[in-house]
């Protein structure tokens, strides 16, 4: 793992090199001063200030970067390796960080001051509750799930034993209030309802058959669709529509969707405006196509595990046409 951050332009097809790099490798770490001196473990782009990015590293620091000048703008020091960083969904200068010492911190980046909570173990992942701007969630290597009210001091609002092994990652649906998913080294995925403000019980527990699970994320455009990654070499990736679970439909099915995060595309039709029916049909069609996707070592002759769906073939042809047009 490298201390250098590579920034890629995803609009360039078949690109072999990053657009630019942040930081620089050096033989003498004490004289570097240009970036991180150990592996970068987490990145977070600021939605509100597009040229600002935060990075957490094994060198016990969080760096704030100016993408226009391609230089670090500030450095925040922590006690241990920084596993995760996350910008507040509404306040541009508030940053959440978590480290291997079990410290969850909320930074005021203008003053470089922080408020700290000590959790039960090494923090594997942390995220803001974008439905409740004063709340934050964190999971630890002892399998615990914590909810912190950032207005309170010292202790989390609640903590539960979420998994039997390390709780490696969590994700909150972008539009379904309270719908939280956690994954673990115990090979299971669990769905939770965290909207009540009280310690929750799992809505459903699902073995994903991907080995020990390391990461999970919701699709920003499809609030019920998530992707999961594990360490099974034969099948390490899967997409799942959580509405396939009867328990999830019963718990969240009647709950109105709320868009609280900035829209990725302002051109999308409104939920109750012209084109809403067509948009809903296209969304359901996309969900069906995505649900069949998986990566496996035996998926293709090269063993690379391509996504073998009609949608994937159309997308590939479209990219080739765009490349030829350039």
Q: What pLDDT score does 133 carry?
A: 87
Q: What pLDDT score does 260 carry?
A: 82
In which residue ranges of the chain is pLDDT below 70?
A: 26-33, 262-326
Residue pair 196/247 in contact (Cβ under 8 Å)? The answer is no
C-alpha span between 99 and 121 (Å, rounded): 10
Q: What pLDDT score does 131 carry?
A: 93
Q: What pLDDT score does 184 carry?
A: 97
Q: What pLDDT score does 33 carry?
A: 62
Q: What pLDDT score does 142 carry?
A: 95
Give me the residue spans of the domains in the chain. Answer: 5-261+287-298+309-325
Q: What pLDDT score does 148 carry?
A: 96
CATH of domain 5-261+287-298+309-325: 2.130.10.10
Q: What pLDDT score does 324 carry?
A: 52
C-alpha span between 239 and 218 (Å, rounded): 10
How many other β-carbons are positioned within 10 Å of the β-carbon of residue 314?
Answer: 11
How many other β-carbons are positioned within 10 Å of the β-carbon of residue 193?
Answer: 18
pTM: 0.78
Q: What pLDDT score does 285 carry?
A: 53
How many other β-carbons are positioned within 10 Å of the β-carbon of residue 11?
Answer: 8
């Amino acid at each position: 793992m490298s201390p250098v951050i590579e920034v890629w332009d995803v609009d360039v097809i078949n690109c072999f090199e990053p657009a630019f790099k942040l930081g620089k490798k050096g033989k003498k770490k004490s004289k570097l001063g240009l970036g991180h001196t150990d592996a970068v473990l987490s990145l977070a782009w600021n939605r509100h200030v597009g040229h600002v990015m935060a990075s957490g590293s094994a060198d016990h620091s969080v760096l704030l970067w100016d993408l226009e000048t391609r230089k670090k703008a500030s450095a925040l020091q922590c006690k241990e390796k920084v596993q995760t960083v996350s910008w507040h969904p509404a306040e541009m200068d508030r940053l959440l960080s978590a480290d291997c010492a079990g410290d969850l911190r909320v930074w005021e980046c203008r003053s470089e001051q922080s408020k700290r909570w000590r959790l039960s173990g090494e923090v594997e992942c942390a995220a803001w509750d974008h439905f409740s701007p004063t709340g934050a969630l964190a999971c630890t290597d002892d399998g615990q799930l914590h909810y912190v009210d950032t207005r309170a001091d010292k202790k989390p609002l609640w903590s539960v034993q979420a998994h039997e092994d390390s709780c490696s990652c969590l994700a909150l649906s972008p539009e379904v209030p309270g719908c939280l998913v956690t994954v673990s080294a115990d090979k299971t995925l669990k769905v939770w309802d965290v909207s009540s403000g009280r310690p929750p019980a799992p809505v459903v527990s699902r073995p994903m058959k991907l080995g020990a699970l390391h990461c999970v994320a919701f699709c920003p455009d499809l609030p019920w669709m998530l992707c999961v990654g594990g360490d099974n070499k034969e099948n390490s990736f899967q997409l799942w529509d959580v509405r396939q679970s009867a328990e999830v439909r019963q718990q969240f099915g009647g709950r109105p969707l709320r868009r609280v995060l900035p829209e990725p595309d302002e051109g999308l039709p409104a939920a109750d405006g012209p084109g809403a029916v067509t948009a809903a049909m296209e969304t359901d069609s996309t969900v069906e196509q995505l649900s069949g996707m998986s990566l496996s070592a035996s998926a293709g002759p090269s063993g690379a595990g391509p996504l073998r769906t009609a949608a994937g073939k159309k997308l590939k042809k479209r990219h080739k046409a765009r490349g030829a047009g350039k």
